[in-house]
């Protein structure tokens, strides 16, 4: 069987390393997978997730994909290397869109996430910014009673502090909630 021929340049280096390591990456070449991620990352945070969070939650880091991204992203789109490193480390900012979130500092396992358990929202102060119309949010107790809530027909910024003693945080129509530093 003839030896594979790799094109010169970063794509060839990525594909050659993937073959040497035996990585099973996506349905095509390792460099093709990395290139697809490079094109997806600029628009990946549209649904309320930070870029590292999107990489993890969408399964892009699963299996050998993570290895290919660690090697390939610095070569093909170095501006996103930090996002990949943060995804691998698990130390990244988590954003939250519309939905109901259990308040907890404990992250679910990968198995729990794959079974449909959503990410919990850690206690802290969060801000939603931008043009918001008909934004509703509420903090509830562990027993389901409303502790605090708000409805804004027109707002540019809303800040909410979620306490460790809260049971759940729910938001609709408010955009993306990001931690306040």
pLDDT tens figures, 84-130: 999 998 888 888 988 899 998 876 665 555 555 567 899 999 999 98
pLDDT-derived band at 46, boundaries 50, 70, 90: low
Count of other CB atoms within 10 angstroms of residue 113: 15
pLDDT tens figures, 47-60: 678 899 889 888 88
pLDDT of residue 38: 93
CA 87 to chain centre: 8
Which strand ranges, in their side-by-side order, compose the sheet holding 99-102? 99-102, 168-172, 135-140, 146-152
Are residues 158 and 127 in contact, defined by beta-carbon separation less than 8 angstroms? yes
Are residues 171 and 96 in contact, defined by beta-carbon separation less than 8 angstroms? yes
Tell me the whole-structure pTM to 2 decimals: 0.74
What are the C-alpha distances in Å from 160 to residues 40, 75, 177?
31, 40, 9
pLDDT of residue 49: 80
Name the residue ranges covered by the structural domains of the chain. 10-89, 99-179
């Amino acid at each position: 069987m003839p030896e594979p021929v790799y094109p010169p340049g970063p794509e060839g280096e990525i594909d050659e390393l993937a073959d040497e390591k035996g990585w099973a990456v996506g349905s095509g070449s390792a460099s093709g997978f990395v290139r697809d991620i490079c094109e997806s990352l600029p628009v990946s945070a549209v649904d309320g997730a930070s870029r590292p969070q999107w990489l993890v939650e969408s399964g892009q880091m699963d299996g050998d994909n993570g290895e290919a991204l660690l090697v390939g992203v610095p070569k093909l789109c170095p501006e996103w290397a930090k996002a990949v490193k943060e995804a691998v480390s698990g130390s990244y900012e988590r954003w939250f869109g519309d939905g109901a979130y259990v308040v907890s500092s404990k992250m679910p396992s990968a198995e729990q996430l794959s079974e449909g358990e959503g990410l919990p929202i850690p206690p802290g102060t969060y801000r939603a910014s931008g043009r918001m119309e008909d934004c509703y949010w509420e903090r509830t107790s562990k027993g389901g009673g409303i502790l605090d809530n708000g409805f804004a027909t027109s707002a540019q910024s809303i800040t909410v502090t979620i306490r460790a003693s809260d049971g759940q945080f729910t938001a609709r129509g408010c955009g993306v909630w990001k931690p306040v530093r």
